Structure 1
Amino acid sequence: MEAEIVVLLMFLGVLIGILLGGPIAFVLAGLAIIFGYWELGERVFPMFANRMWSTATNSLLMAIPMFIFMASILERSGIADKLFQSLLYAFGRLNGAIALTVVLLSTVFAAVTGVMGATVVSMSLMAIPAMLKYGYDKRLATGTVAAGGTIGIIIPPSIMLVIMADQSGESVGRLFAAGLLPGLLLASLYFLYILIRCWFQPAMGPALPREELDRYSGLQITGMILLNMVPPILLIFGVLGSIWFGFATPTEASAIGAFLSLVLMTLYGRFNWAAIREATWSTTRTSCMVLAVIVGATLFTQVFFAVGGNDVVTDLVLVLDDQFGRWGTFAMMMLVVFFLGFLIDWIGIILITFPIFLPLGVLLGFDELWLVMMIAVNLQASFLTPPVGYALFYLKGTVPKGVHMFDIYKGVIPFLLLQLVAIVIMAFYPEIITWLPQFVAR
C-alpha cells in the first residue's frame, strides 16, 4: 500500500480511538501492532521488543517517578498553605490580591514540584473558596487557578521537559534553563492581566477588607514571607543548581529533590507514614501511566517511520515551505500541536510530533532548542482545552458547588490568548529561550 494512504489511515485510527474514549497508550500501541504486522509482517515483533527494552532501561526516565514523588510529598508538607497566607497579606491592598497570589505561588510551587496536577489541586482547594468568599468573579477565579497551575509544565524541574529531552536528544539541564524565562514570561503576563483587569473592573476581584489587612504589620508580613520562602528556594537550588553546575545528572538531582522534600516535610511537622504511603501510591500510578504512553507512542512512531511516514511528512512540509515560507510552515506546525491538544494528551503529542517536526524544523533553519521550547509553551494549551484538558478536570473535581464547567471553560479563554501572545513574543525575541542555556553545563 502507498505510504501516504498508510499514514492517513494511522492518524485516522488515532483520531477515532481517542474520540471513542480509548486510553491513548493502548490506542497507539494497538495501531502500531495492526499496521506494523500489516506492512512488515512478523519481523515487526522483534523490533517492538527491542524498542520496549530500550525504553524500559532508559536511565533518564528514572527521573520521572522521583520528581513525581517529590511533588506528592511537597503537596502534603504544608509549604503551600503557609506561603499562600504570607503572600496574600503582602498583595492584600491591591485589587485581585488573591488571584495575584495564586499566580506568584503557582510559579514558586512549579519550581519545586514539576507536576501540574499537584499545583492545580492545591491552588483550587486553597484559593477558590477564598476568592468566592470575597466576591471574585467565578470565571476569573477558575481561569487563574487553571492557568497558574499549568505553568509547572514549563518552569523546571518539569516532567514534560524531561520527556522532551529524552525525545529530542537535548540535555535536561539545557532544556530546564531554556524553560525558566518563558515560564516567568507567562507568569508575568498572567499577573499583569489580572492587575490591569481588576484595576478597571474592581468587582471582578476586590482587595482584602481593611480589618483583614490590619491583622499583621508590614514587618510581620515580611518575616512570614522570608520564613516560608527560604525552604522552597533551597529546594530549587538543590535540584536545579546541581544540574546546571554539572554536579549531578538529572536522575541524581531528582533523588536529591525527593530527599529534600522529605526533610522539608519533617521540618514542617507533617511527616507520617500514612502520607508516605499515599505519596508512594500516587507516584506509582502516575509513573505507570506516563511510561505506558511513552511505550505506546514509541511503537507507533517506529511503525510510522518504517512505512515511510517521515518521507510523506517531509514532502508535505517542503510543499508548504514553497507555498508559505519557513515562518508559514512554522505556524502550520504550531497549529497542528494546538489542535492535537483538543484530542490527545501532551505525552502523546510530544511522542508523535517530535520525530517529525524537529528534523524538519532544523531543515528549515530553526534552532532545535528554541523549537522544542516553543512547542512546550504551545502544549500548555492542551491542559486548558476540552475534552482532554487535565487542568479543567482537576478543577471540576475540587471547586465548590455553584461553579460549573461552563464557568471554567470561559475562565481559561483569556489565558489561552495570553499563551498565544507569549509565543509571538518568543518568536520575535528567541533570546528569551536561548540566552540562559549557553551558561549551563551540558
Structure 2
Amino acid sequence: MSPEFVAVAMFGTLFVVLFMGHPLAFSLGAVAVLFGLLGWGGSPDQIFGIFANKTYGVMEEYVLVAVPLFIFMAQMLDASGVAEKLFHTMHVLWGPVRGGLGIAVILVCTVFAASTGVVGATEVAIGLLAAPNLLKRGYDIPMTAGCICAGGTLGILIPPSIMLVVYGGLTNISVGKLFAAAMLPGLTLSSLYIIYVAVRCGLNPKMGPPLPKEERTQSAKQKLGMVFTSLIPPLFLIFMVLGSIVAGIATTTEAAGLGAIGAMLLALAYRRLTWAAIVDSATATMKITCMVMVLFLGGNAFQSIFMGLGGGDAVSSVLLGLQVSPYVVLFIMMGIVFFLGMFIDWLGILLIVIPVFTPVAQELGFDPLWFGTLICVNLQMAFLTPPFGYSLFYLRGIAPPEMTMGLIYKGVIPFICLQWIGLIACVMYQPLIMYLPTALFGE
C-alpha cells in the first residue's frame, strides 16, 4: 500500500466505523489492527509488539498521574458547592445589568475553569444552577444555552487543564509553560463572550432583561461579604496549584495533588465533605480516568500503525509541498483540526494529529509552544461544534424540556464564531500566547 492510500483509507475507515456508532477508543484500535495486518503481510506479532511497547510508554509517563488528581479535584469542587455560592454572588452583583445573568454565568465558568480543568464538571454544575434561573427571568433560550456551553468549555483551556497536561505528555513540552501560554488566550475568549452578551442584550433587552428592583435587596456590606466568602476560597486554590508550578516549588503532578487536597479542604469548610461525597468523587474519577487511558491506548495504536505505514510522511509531504505562505499551511491544519472536532473527541484528535502536524510546524519554523497552544485553543471548539459537540449533550441532559437540541445548536453558533476570532487573534498577535511563558520562564 502506498503511503497516500494509507492516509486516506485509514481516516476514511475510521469515520465509517464511528458513524456506525462504535466507541472511539475501540474504533481506533480496530482500524489500527486491520491496517497493520494488511500493511505488514498479515503477521500479528509485529503489530502487537508495537502496541505493547506503546502501552508501556503510556504507563511510564509520570506527568499523566496528574490527570486523575485534577479530575478528583474537579469532582470534589463540584461536591463542595463552590459553583453554587459563586453563581449566587455573581447573580446579585450582575443582575441589575442587561444580560447580567449571562455575564455572571461566564464569569463563574471562568473562575470554576481555573479551579477544575474539566468541562463536564463545570458545565453540569453551572447548567443545573443557571438554566432554570435565566429562563425563569425571561432570558432568550439560545442565548442561555450559548452562555452555559461556551462558558463551560473554558475548563479545557484555562489552566489547570487536563488537555494541556495530556498535550505536554505527548510532545514533551513543559506543562508549566503550556499552562502559562494558555492563560491569556483563555481569558481573551472569556472576555469576548462577555462583550458579546453585553452588546447583544444591550441592543435587545428582551434577550437578557435585568433583575427587577424588588430582587435587589442586598446592601453593599452584604455584597462584599458574599464576594469574600464565595470568591476568595477558589482563588486561593487556583493560586496554590498554579503558583506552586510557576514558582518551581512543585511539579505538575505534585501541584495536582495539592489541588486535590485543597478541594477537600474547601468541601470541609463549606460543610459538604461527607463520606458519600468522597466515594462518589473517587468513583467518577476512576471512570473518567479509565476512559481517558483507554482512548490513549486506542489512539497510540492508530498513531503507531499510521506512522509506521508512512501515512504521516505522506500528509507532511503534501502540506510542505504546497507553494504557499507558512500561515496558509497553518490555517489548513487548523481547519482540519476544526473539522475533526465536529466528529471526534479532543483526546482522539490530539493522538491522531500531533505526530503528523508537529513535524510540519517545526519544518515551517513555528515555535512548538505557540503552535501547541493554538491547537488547544482550536480544540475548545470541538466541544461546541455540531453535530457531536460534547458540551451540547452535557447541557441537553440537564436542561429544561423547552431547551431543545435545535435551540442549543442555534445558541452556540455565535460563540463558535467568537472562538475563531480568538484563534485568529492568537495567530496574528503572538505575544497573546508567548508573553507569560517568556515573562515567567525566560526565553
TM over 0.5: yes
User: Are 1:103 and 2:106 matched, yes or no?
Assistant: yes
Q: How many angstroms apart in 2 are the aligned matches of 1:441 and 1:373?
A: 16
1:150 pairs with one of 153, 175, 179: 153
User: Are 1:189 and 2:192 matched, yes or no?
Assistant: yes
Q: Secondary structure at the match of 1:387?
A: coil
- How far the C-alpha of 1:171 sits from its partner, in A, is 0.6
Q: How many angstroms apart in 2 are the aligned matches of 1:126 and 1:43?
A: 53
Q: Is the 8 A contact 2:299 2:352 kept in 1?
A: yes
Q: Secondary structure at the match of 1:206?
A: coil
Q: Secondary structure at the match of 1:21?
A: coil
Q: Is the 8 A contact 1:80 1:109 kept in 2?
A: yes
Q: Is the 8 A contact 1:173 1:440 kept in 2?
A: no
- How far the C-alpha of 1:359 sits from its partner, in A, is 1.1
Q: Is the 8 A contact 2:7 2:315 kept in 1?
A: no
- How far the C-alpha of 1:121 sits from its partner, in A, is 0.5
Alignment of 1:205-220 (within 5 A): 205-213=208-216, 215-220=217-222
AA aligned to 1:49 is A
Alignment of 1:260-409 (within 5 A): 260-320=262-322, 322=323, 324-409=324-409
Which residue is 1:121 aligned to? Answer: 124
- How far the C-alpha of 1:125 sits from its partner, in A, is 0.6
- How far the C-alpha of 1:441 sits from its partner, in A, is 4.6
Q: How many angstroms apart in 2 are the aligned matches of 1:405 and 1:141?
A: 13
Count matched residues: 439
Q: Secondary structure at the match of 1:397?
A: helix
Q: Secondary structure at the match of 1:224?
A: helix
Which residue is 1:253 aligned to? Answer: 255
Q: How many angstroms apart in 2 are the aligned matches of 1:431 and 1:76?
A: 37
AA aligned to 2:424 is V
Which residue is 2:62 aligned to? Answer: 59
1:381-421 residue CA offsets vs partner (Å, 9 max, x unmatched): 11012232110001001011211100100000000000011
User: Are 1:172 and 2:175 matched, yes or no?
Assistant: yes
Q: How many angstroms apart in 2 are the aligned matches of 1:60 and 1:368?
A: 19
Q: How many angstroms apart in 2 are the aligned matches of 1:246 and 1:114?
A: 20
AA aligned to 1:410 is K
- How far the C-alpha of 1:310 sits from its partner, in A, is 2.1
Which residue is 1:140 aligned to? Answer: 143
AA aligned to 2:313 is D
RMSD, aligned α-carbons: 1.1
AA aligned to 1:51 is K
Q: Secondary structure at the match of 1:388?
A: coil
1:143-200 residue CA offsets vs partner (Å, 9 max, x unmatched): 1000000011110000111111111221110000011000000000000000011111
Q: How many angstroms apart in 1 are the aligned matches of 2:183 and 2:260?
A: 21
- How far the C-alpha of 1:309 sits from its partner, in A, is 1.6
Q: How many angstroms apart in 1 are the aligned matches of 2:144 and 2:213?
A: 21
1:289-339 residue CA offsets vs partner (Å, 9 max, x unmatched): 11111111111111111111222012110222x1x3211111110110000
Q: Is the 8 A contact 1:64 1:159 kept in 2?
A: yes
Percent of aligned pairs sharing the same letter: 44
Structure 2: state its 5+ residue gaps. Answer: none
Q: Is the 8 A contact 1:39 1:307 kept in 2?
A: yes
- How far the C-alpha of 1:31 sits from its partner, in A, is 1.3
AA aligned to 1:243 is I
1:260-316 residue CA offsets vs partner (Å, 9 max, x unmatched): 100110010001111111111111111111111111111111111111122201211
Q: How many angstroms apart in 2 are the aligned matches of 1:370 and 1:26?
A: 32
Q: How many angstroms apart in 2 are the aligned matches of 1:306 and 1:414?
A: 41
Q: How many angstroms apart in 2 are the aligned matches of 1:58 and 1:43?
A: 23
Structure 1: state its 5+ residue gaps. Answer: none
Q: How many angstroms apart in 1 are the aligned matches of 2:379 and 2:359?
A: 19
AA aligned to 1:377 is V
Q: Is the 8 A contact 2:316 2:357 kept in 1?
A: no
Q: Secondary structure at the match of 1:170?
A: coil
Q: Is the 8 A contact 1:24 1:293 kept in 2?
A: yes
Q: How many angstroms apart in 1 are the aligned matches of 2:182 and 2:411?
A: 25
